[in-house]
Amino acid sequence: MLSCLQADHGFVYCCRMGERERAVAVKKMISVLLILLSCFSLAACSGLPFLPAPAENDPKDSKDAEQYLNTYLTADPLTLDISKWSDPAAKTVLINTMEALVRMEDQDGKYIIASGDAAALESNQDGTVWTFHLKDNRWDDGIPVTAEDYVYSLRRSADPATVSPNRSYLSPIKNYTEISEGKLPATELGVKASDEKTLVITLSAPMPSFLSLLDAAVYYPQRQDKAAEYAEKYGTEAQYTLCNGPFKLESWNHGSSLVLIKNENYWDAEKVSLTKVNFAILPKQEAVDLAYAKGELDAIQADQNEQMKLLSAREDSKSNSYPAAALTFAFYNTADAVFSNVNIRKAFTLAIDRNKLNELCFGALRDPAYGWVVPGVSVGTTNYRLAAGNMIQKIQNELTEEKITPKDLLILGMEDLGLGSDPTTLKVTFCLPGTSDWYHALGSYLQQTYQEILGVPIRISYSEWQTFQSKIEKGNYQIGLMAWSAFYNDPYDLLSLFVSKVDTIKTGWSNTEFDKMISNAAVEMKESTRLEEYKEAETILLKNECVVSPLVVSRVNQFYRDYVYGYATQCFSDMGLKYVYTSGRK
């Protein structure tokens, strides 16, 4: 038996482990969120992330008597219905007003699974049945949160009639696939309430990262009585919203503001310092910048160099940044006559100087990407990227040892295909998912780079998103560009996109050994073994086959007033504003 006590959070996790047979198949979970970033700017598509001052400098003993925070959203939430939300603004509100079974928090730069509604949990021997023992948490109207609230919520979201945008995140649960296909009723979903405070979730197969998935908003509870009473109004106004988290929704003036206040019925209310959070709805960046300059906001996110310079010069502000979960990458159509050759794919991948690309096209506000799995992802307590190393550099090192340049590699690939040895004769089109000036500048950079490094005069195709997506779906492309955001903290979230039967990115590539590694890792409960299987899978994907070309990873660049403390520091944390407080506000 393996047991771990998170004493600071009152959370007991017990997992009984023993000898077991490996599951031979794992149902695929579409566990990623595709996002098209306008000019790949995070500000337009995310709620405001927050960052803390160093913990050792937190003046916890001198908190301000009046605890409030002024912040902003770039848009109104479309809905706060747990089963129907889909936009980042809603996620920002829900992460602060709702509580899941567990919380993904960070301590000293490492993720921990902390207590949410569950006081304790346990799994069966092979990790397919999870039992959660609920604590005495309450809804903001004082009614206790029960196991039936979770059963109702999960069934409602899984039901095809609900059309939940996030229902695929429930796919690990037993019978989800059959329910989603209309073969079984939602009541057959693998969830049940053994009693008022005991929830049992049965999975189709072992999933070692299941706990990391549980903080997703689609796993939040819902009250059946209120959902029925509010009907179509559910989640559309403050009075039609019910909360069980650190804060509750006091008011919502659409297009103007949204106000949260402390939820005194929350199980951990004594650790919540803020009594009020004022969200201004500010769609335009100019309005955000002005509000911060006038002292109307306590925090702001920067994604432009000019912003960074102005904010860095302020004496009343602190700053910090961390890599986000969003990766910008090029990808190849391996069914294409040219890019079916791995040497040509490697040549185009190595031709890009990622530092220069970041500086010239992204204003040096991103991080160069040298692997498919983004830097913030971990396997247990081990940061995956640090353990796996620089995959792109590994390819380059092999070529350097053999004194082969990217252009040499290109010509070798051309000769293999019977295309001669003159790169100027190669016909290549790079598809970009936008038509703005920024995309045209990026296109010009790509043309210049491939001409200079490979001698290939590529053509750039500019399309709006729907047209671009149609081309990709039909396989009518050679190279494309996308941004993709990891949803939860496990390499499976990103690597499983390339499983043969899935091919989410539509590269046309398949590899039985890769599939085997992903299938093995998906059910492997031992962290060290799972880590090695993920590393092997990524080696096949990038170093051996070079199916995609990771380019840059987005960063969150946060500026906040010098009296604000207690923010989370990692991209997958769902701590929200629970531990935020102010000290020294004038």
* The three-state (H, E, C) secondary structure of 239-257, written as one string: HHCCCCCCEEEEEEECCCE
Instruction: Return the CATH number at 86.
Output: 3.90.76.10
Q: Do 514 and 367 share a structural domain?
A: yes
Residues whose CB is less than 8 angstroms from the CB of residue 268 and which lie 6 or more positions away in sequence, other chains included: 246, 578
- Cα 69 from Cα 583, distance rounded (Å): 11
Give one DSSP letter per residue of 133-178, joined into a string. EE-S-B-TTSPBP-HHHHHHHHHHHHSGGG--TTGGGGTTBTTHHH
Look at residues 200, 218, 238 and tell me which one is the last residue of a structural domain: 238
State the residue range of the domain holding 9. 2-24+75-238
In a domain, 85, yes or no: yes
Tokens of 377: 């992802």
Q: What is the pLDDT of residue 503?
A: 77
Domain presence at residue 572? no
- 332/214 same-domain check: no
Which long-range contacts (C-beta less than 8 Å, at least 24 apart) are formed by 533-539? 534/373, 534/379, 534/384, 534/388, 534/491, 534/492, 534/495, 535/387, 535/388, 537/491, 537/495, 538/371, 538/372, 538/373, 538/388, 538/391, 538/491, 538/495, 539/391
Q: How far apart are CA 52 and CA 66, in angstroms?
A: 19
What is the total count of domains within the chain? 2
| pTM more than 0.85 | no
220 with 328, same domain: the answer is no
Q: So what's the pLDDT on residue 88? A: 84
Query: How does DSSP classify residue 43?
Result: G
For residues 570 and 43, the answer to whether their CB atoms sit within 8 Å is no
Residue 545 resides in a domain: yes
Rg of the chain over Cα atoms, rounded to whole angstroms, equals 25
**In this predicted structure, what is the pLDDT of residue 167?**
87
48 close to 71: Cβ distance less than 8 angstroms: yes
Tokens 């997992």 -> residue:
15
| Of 238, 255, 290, the domain-final residue | 238
What pLDDT sits at residue 57? 58
Same domain for 231 and 357, yes or no, is: no
| Residue 203 DSSP label | B
512-523 and 527-538 are packed helices; what angle lies between their axes, rounded to 10 degrees?
160
Same domain, 15 and 131: yes
Q: What is the pLDDT of residue 109?
A: 64
3-state secondary structure of 553: strand
- Residue 88 falls within a domain, yes or no? yes
In this structure, are 219 and 338 located in the same domain? no
Query: Domain check: are 192 and 83 in the same one?
Result: yes
Single residue among 211, 238, 265 that ends a domain in this structure: 238
Which residues lie across from 482 on neighbouring strands? 329
Q: What integer pLDDT is reported at residue 52 of this predicted model?
A: 37
Q: Is 83 part of any domain? A: yes
Secondary structure (3-state) at 363: coil
234 and 330: one domain? no
Helix (H, G, I), strand (E, B) or coil at 115: strand
CATH number of the domain to which 513 belongs:
3.10.105.10
Q: From CA 335, how far away is CA 471, in angstroms rounded?
A: 14
Same structural domain, 467 and 372: yes
Beta carbons within 10 angstroms of residue 305's beta carbon? 12
The answer as to whether 362 is a domain residue is yes
User: Are 459 and 334 members of one domain?
Assistant: yes
Pair 90, 226 in one domain: yes
Could you tell me the two tokens for 33?
Answer: 């969120």
Residue 317 lies in a domain: no
Q: 127 CB contacts (<8 Å, ≥6 apart)?
A: 15, 203, 206, 207, 208, 210, 523, 525
d(CA 357, CA 372): 17
Q: Which pLDDT belongs to residue 53?
A: 36
One digit per residue, the tens of pLDDT, for the chain of length 586 reads 222 222 223 333 333 333 222 222 233 222 222 222 233 332 222 233 333 333 445 677 799 999 999 999 999 999 999 999 988 899 999 999 999 999 888 776 667 788 899 999 999 988 899 999 999 999 999 999 999 999 999 999 999 999 998 888 898 999 999 999 999 999 999 999 999 999 999 999 888 888 888 877 899 999 999 999 999 999 999 999 999 999 999 999 999 999 999 999 999 999 999 999 999 999 988 999 999 999 999 999 887 778 888 888 888 888 877 778 889 999 999 999 999 999 999 999 999 999 999 999 988 888 999 999 998 888 877 889 999 999 999 999 999 999 999 999 999 999 999 999 999 999 999 999 999 999 999 999 999 999 999 999 999 999 998 899 899 999 999 999 998 888 778 898 899 899 988 778 999 999 999 999 998 998 888 889 999 999 999 999 999 999 999 999 988 888 889 999 987 767 777 788 999 999 999 8
Same domain, residue pair 334 and 200: no
Torsion angle in degrees (nearest 10) through CA of 86, 87, 91, 94: -70
Q: For position 313, what pLDDT does the model report?
A: 84
Structural domain contains residue 389: yes
